[in-house]
Copies of this chain bind each other. A is one copy, B any other.
Amino acid sequence: MSKVLVTGGAGFIGSWLCEFLLEQKHEVTCVDNLFSSSKNNIRHLLDNKNFEFVRHDVCEPFHFEVDQVYHLACPASPVYYQKNPVRTIETAFLGTRNALECARNTGAKLLITSTSEVYGDPEQHPQQEDYWGNVNPVGDRSCYDEGKRIGESLAVSWSKQYGTDVRIARLFNCYGPRMALHDGRLIPNFILQQMKYEPLTIYGDGHQTRSFCYISDTVDALVKLMNLRITSILKSSLGIPVPIINIGNPDERMIKDVAFDIISAFGGEGCIIHAPLPKDDPKQRCPDITRAKRILGWEPKVSYSDGMAKTIASYMSKGFR
């Protein structure tokens, strides 16, 4: 049993992670400011004697005596992260800085969740971890994309300078039950529209691609990455002391096909409208997961069709909440 801190633990991924860690009999402290997350995601955990919820904003320093820190806290959907771009950048930078400080002070291992958005609108396909990315530093998405990049830069510099044990997961679109229905992300957005008999909104022509990873696969990878022993051989093979690993499902889909699949899952009746593509929207996104396979012995197990079926079923049983 370890003492584990999960920042952003009341978010979509965070709440699944907390649940999994509790099943593994760990003592879990969940830190969250509930800005883009919800206490509903963790309500079923509140009575667990090994679980504690602390309402705290990671932009302010924090200190918990733990063995492991999973740092997930950051608004991750454009609807939230563009609401207050300055705060998004501050959360990405100060939040990561405070997580590093906490890990340094306690000697805890730290896992930081980064994102495929660090690749921007990629010119390499699929994206490998060594690819430097193609990000607009001053565009509408830069508060998040550049915020996540500086978080990585800081973490690597920090680990070199202070020896803190850090690992970074670059998450590609993760989906599943408990994703906020109203935060504008693709799959919940389509499902919500379909449930309300509204047309599904496709931005652009729908030929742009994303790769969707089911939540249980993502959580599995995160835990494996936390448990990875960072040896000096590993460090020298990577060239930096911090393993950076793509976590995603390489099963790449066109947005228009996802829309059709959701309409089909609801019986085949539905319609689609097109809206202009937002500026700097990535045209394609697919992880190269060679490194995850090699270093973590991980690859996704839940197929797209199974994952979508589970997700749709969960929303149907819950309704519009």
* Residues of chain A whose beta carbon lies under 8 Å from any beta carbon of chain B: 84-86, 88-90, 93, 97, 118, 120, 132-138, 142-143, 146-147, 149-150, 152-154, 156-158, 160-162, 240, 242, 244
CB contacts (< 8 Å) of A88 on chain B: these are 157
Q: Give the residue name and chain of the B residue nearest to A138 (CB).
A: B156
Is A86 a contact of B146 with CB atoms below 8 Å? Answer: no
Distance in angstroms from A283 CB to nearest chain B CB is 14
CB contacts (< 8 Å) of A150 on chain B: these are 89, 93, 146-147, 149-150
> How many monomers of this chain does the complex have?
2
Q: Find A137's partner among B93, B133, B161, B162 (CB 8 Å cutoff).
A: B133
Is A157 a contact of B244 with CB atoms below 8 Å? Answer: no
CB contacts (< 8 Å) of A136 on chain B: these are 132
CB contacts (< 8 Å) of A156 on chain B: these are 138, 142
With A84-B161, A120-B132, A132-B120 already in contact, the answer to whether A89 and B137 are too (CB < 8 A) is no
Is A85 a contact of B157 with CB atoms below 8 Å? Answer: yes
CB contacts (< 8 Å) of A160 on chain B: these are 85
Q: At the interface, is chain A mostly helix, strand, loop or mixed? A: helix
CB contacts (< 8 Å) of A135 on chain B: these are 132-133
Q: Give the residue name and chain of the B residue nearest to A143 (CB).
A: B157
Q: Give the residue name and chain of the B residue nearest to A134 (CB).
A: B132
CB contacts (< 8 Å) of A138 on chain B: these are 152-153, 156, 240, 242, 244
Distance in angstroms from A201 CB to nearest chain B CB is 24
Distance in angstroms from A57 CB to nearest chain B CB is 16
Is B242 a contact of A157 with CB atoms below 8 Å? Answer: no
